[in-house]
Amino acid sequence: LSLAAQVAESRELDIPLLLLKLKGVLSSPSLGCEESKRIKRDIYDYGLAQYCLLVLRQDHSRLRGGWATAAQLAQILSHCCVGLEVKEDPEEFYKKFLPSAVDNLLVLGKRLQARFIRAIKDKEKQDFLRWFQTVTDAICWLFGGHLQLAACVLQNDLFLRLLITDDVETAIIMMSVLHNILRINSSVLLQVDKKTLHSVLDELVYKLSSTTNPAVGSAATKLLVVVARFSTQLAELLTAHYKGLKELLSKQWTGKGFDRELNQLLDLLYLEQSSGQEVQKQHQAACIIQAAWKGFQTRKRLKKLPRAVITLQRSFRAKREQELQHLTKQKEDEALKLQMQLQRQRAMRLFHERQLAVLETIHASQVNKYMEEMEEKSALTIQRFWRGYRARRIFHQQKQSLKEYKAAVIIQRAACKFLEKRRRRRPLCLWKEPKGLTDEQRLALQQKVDDYIKLHPASQMSEEMSKELHMQAQEKLAQFLLRSRLDQRAAQRRETLLAQVNTDVELLMNAPGLAETTEKDLGVFRSRSIPVATKARQSHNTMLKHTRWPWWKKLGDEFVEDDVIPDDAISADLEALFTGGRK
C-alpha cells in the first residue's frame, strides 16, 4: 500500500525504479500460499500491475535503470499474473489485461533482439542476450500459468518476427519458447489458422536448410518431432508440403550429435509416406470411379441435349414474341394517346370558334347572361362527371363488403332454416313439473342454515339500553337544532350589517363636498331609516324595470314565480350599492 502511494505521488521517471521493489515483496520467504495470492490481488487492485504494463511499452534507453529494469519488470509482471485470482470483473483481466501483457512482453523482446543484433561489444551483446532470455522466460512463465495464452502468443505477429531471424542465439531461445508452448498445450497448432501454422513450419524447415549450426538443427528437429508425433494431420502436411525434407535431413544433418531425434523424425516421415502411398492408391481408385460416373452422366446429358435445345429455343422465341407484342402495344398506346390529344385540341378549338360565332350574333346586353348560363352548364357537367366517378369508386370500395354481407345473409338464412327444421322435429312437452328437493337435500340445506345462525348470532339489546340510546339521540338532535338556529341568526345579522355598511359606503361615495353640504345631507347620515328607505326605493325601481322588460327577455322565466326577481337582475342594478359605486 505504501509503495502504491509512492508510485502515485512520484514523477514518471522514478516509477520504474520504485516498481522494482515488488520483486522483494513477491519473493519474500515468509509468505504462504494464501498470503502470496492476497499480495498479488492487492498489487492488481492498487494498479501496480497496470503501471508495470505501461512501463514496458516505453523506450528504456532514456529511462533510469535502462533495459535491465525493463527485463526485471517483465519478470515481476509475469509472476504477478500467475496465481492471481481476480474476483471483481474477471472478464477484463482475462480478455484485456493478459493479452495486453503478452503484447507488451513481445514488444520488449523485439526491441532487445534488435539491440542485441546491432551491438558491437561483447559485454553489450551478453547483457542484451541475458535480458532477452529473462523476457522470454517471463513469457513462458505467463502462458504456463494461463494455458489460453499459448494460442495468443503463437498467433501474434511479433512472435513470428522474433522467430524469423538469422541470429543463432536468439533463434535458439525462440525455438525453446515454441517448444515450451507445444509441451504445455500441444493442441495449439490445430487451434491457430493455417497461415500461422504454415509460417511456423516454413521457418523451421528453412532453418534446417539454411544453417549448419548443430544447435539450431537440433532445436528445429526436436520441434518437428513434437509436431509430427502430436497429429497425423500435421505429419501428412510435412510429407506433402516439404517433399525434399527427408533427403535434406539424411544428407546434411546425419552425425551432428542429435541422431536419435533425427532418426525419430525420419521414421515418422517414412511411415507417413507409406500410409500416404496407400491413401494415394485409394485416391486414384476414387478418381477412376468418379471419372467413369462423370462420363456416364455426360453421355446421358448429351443424349438429352437436342430436347433441351428445342425447349430453350421455344422459350426464347416465346419470350421474344412477348417482348415484340409488348413493344407493339406500347407504340399503339402512345399513338392512341397522341391521337386523343389531337382530337381534344381540335374539339377545343372548334368549341371556342363556335362560341365566338355565337357571341357575335348575340346582342351586347345579353352577353353576360349567356356567359352565366354557359358557366352554369359547365359546372353542372363537371359535377355530374365528378359524382359519377365518386359513386363508381365508392361502389368498387364497397363491393367486397357487399359480397361479405350477402354471404353472411345466405349463411344466416341457411342456419335459421336448419334450426327451424330441428325445432319442428323436437316433440313438444306441454308441462314440465319442476324438480323438487329430496329429503336428503332438504336436511342438508337445513343443516347449513343452522350452522350459519350459530356462526352469526343476532345482537340482542335490553329495553333499558334502548331507552337510554333514544334519549341520547334526542339530546344530540336538540343540540344540533339549537346550534343551527344560532348559526342562522348570526348569518342574518352578518348579512344585515354587510348591507348597512355597503349602503353607508354608497352614500359616502355619492355625498357632495364639505363646501356644498346642507343640513338635509347631514340628516341622511344621522338617521338609520334613510339608508333603509333608499335601499327599498332602489329595489322597487329594479322590480318595476323588470316588469317592463320585453317578452323575449323573459323566455327563461316560465317556471319562476311572479313576485321573485332574478338575482342577477337585482345585482346588476344594485351593483353600485354593494361594490362601493363609481366616480
348-388: pLDDT as tens digits: 899 888 888 887 887 878 888 888 888 899 899 999 999 99
Task: Report pTM.
Answer: 0.44
Q: How do residues 442-478 score in pLDDT, each as one tens digit?
A: 898 899 988 888 888 766 677 888 888 889 999 999 8
Residue 502: CB atoms within 10 Å: 19
Domain match, 135 and 273 both: no
Query: Following DSSP, what letter does each residue of 491-526 receive, concatenated?
Result: HHHHHHHHHHHHHHHHHHHH---GGG--HHHHHHHH
- In 3D space, the residue among 35, 49, 40, 41 whose CA is nearest the CA of residue 7 turns out to be 49
Domain match, 85 and 170 both: yes
Burial of 354 by CB count in 10 Å (0-12 exposed, 13-18 middle, 19+ buried)?
exposed
In a domain, 348, yes or no: no
Number of domains in the chain: 2
- Residue 580: the pLDDT is 38
Mean pLDDT of all residues in 270-286: 68
Residue 22: CB atoms within 10 Å: 24
Domain match, 188 and 237 both: no
Most confident of 212-221, 299-308, 412-421: 412-421
- Residue 524: the pLDDT is 66
H or E element that contains 122 = helix 122-145
- Residue 28: the pLDDT is 63
Amino acid occupying residue 27: S
Distance (Å, whole) CA 507 – CA 385: 78
Decide which of 167, 192, 217 is a domain's last residue.
192
Domain match, 47 and 72 both: yes
H or E element that contains 53 = helix 48-56
In a domain, 458, yes or no: no
Domain match, 146 and 253 both: no
Mean pLDDT of the chain: 78
The C-alpha R_g of the chain, in whole angstroms, comes to 58
pLDDT band with cut points at 50, 70 and 90 for residue 145: confident
Amino acid occupying residue 315: S
For residue 171, pLDDT beyond 90: no
- In 3D space, the residue among 184, 90, 181, 195 whose CA is nearest the CA of residue 136 turns out to be 181
Containing domain of residue 245, as a range?
Answer: 194-324
Domain match, 16 and 142 both: yes
Decide which of 324, 359, 382 is a domain's last residue.
324
Most confident of 9-23, 32-46, 285-299, 566-580: 285-299
In a domain, 143, yes or no: yes
Decide which of 324, 347, 372 is a domain's last residue.
324
Query: Following DSSP, what letter does each residue of 323-368 receive, concatenated?
Result: HHHHHHHHHHHHHHHHHHHHHHHHHHHHHHHHHHHHHHHS-GGGHH
Decide if 43 contacts 81 (C-beta within 8 A): no
H or E element that contains 13 = none
Mean pLDDT of all residues in 132-143: 82
Domain match, 185 and 218 both: no
Decide if 181 contacts 150 (C-beta within 8 A): yes
